[in-house]
Structure 1
Amino acid sequence: MTALDRAWLGLALLSAATTIVALSPLSAPLSGALILIFAWAKARLIFLWYLELADVPAWRGGILFGLGLFSLLLFGLYVIGTLV
């Protein structure tokens, strides 16, 4: 199984997990947080394996740092939105 095949499998599993969480009776704040975590994981898979940044350390670090900051910003805005 190639890295691209594993990425496809990972994306499919994360999409299925997202659907399960969305349809589950979990509270809205918890399900929203889990869905954001799954979205971060899917974006990371895409950056590392589809765009082949796993083999380019300088770009990989910068892109994943930016993705992490963006994800934290979204999570912070989500938490603020649930408190209001």
Structure 2
Amino acid sequence: MSALERAWIGLALLSAASTLIALSPLPAPYTGALILACAWGKARLIFLWYLELAPVPSWRSGILTGLSLFMLLLMGLYVAA
């Protein structure tokens, strides 16, 4: 199984997890945070394997740092609201 196929499976599993979390009876703050965490994981998979940034350390670290800062900003805004 190639890395791209594993990434596709990971995306499908994270999408299913997001759906199950959204349908669960968890309180809204936990639900939102968990769905954002799933989105973060999906974005990482897309950047690393679909855009093939995994073997390019300088681009990988820059993109993932930017993604991390953006997701932390979104989490902070969600918690503040």
TM-score range, shorter chain: over 0.9
> For 1:38, what is the secondary structure of its paired residue?
helix
Flag the structure with higher helix content: 1
Kindly report the root-mean-square deviation, in angstroms, between the aligned alpha carbons of the 2 structures: 0.2
User: Cα distance, 1:69 vs. partner?
Assistant: 0.1
The number of residue pairs the alignment matches comes to 81
After TM superposition, the runs of 4+ consecutive aligned structure 1 residues lying more than 2 A away are: none
Matched, 1:34 2:31: no
Q: Which residue of 2 aligns with 1:17?
A: 17
State the percentage of identical aligned residues: 74
For residues 6-61 of structure 1, give each alpha carbon's deviation from its aligned partner in whole angstroms, at most 9, with x where no partner exists. Answer: 00000000000000000000000000000000000000000000000001000000
TM-score (norm 2): 0.99
* Paired position in structure 1 for 2:65: 65
Name the TM-score, length of structure 1 as normaliser: 0.96
Distance in 1 (CA, whole Å) between partners of 2:39 and 2:67 is: 11
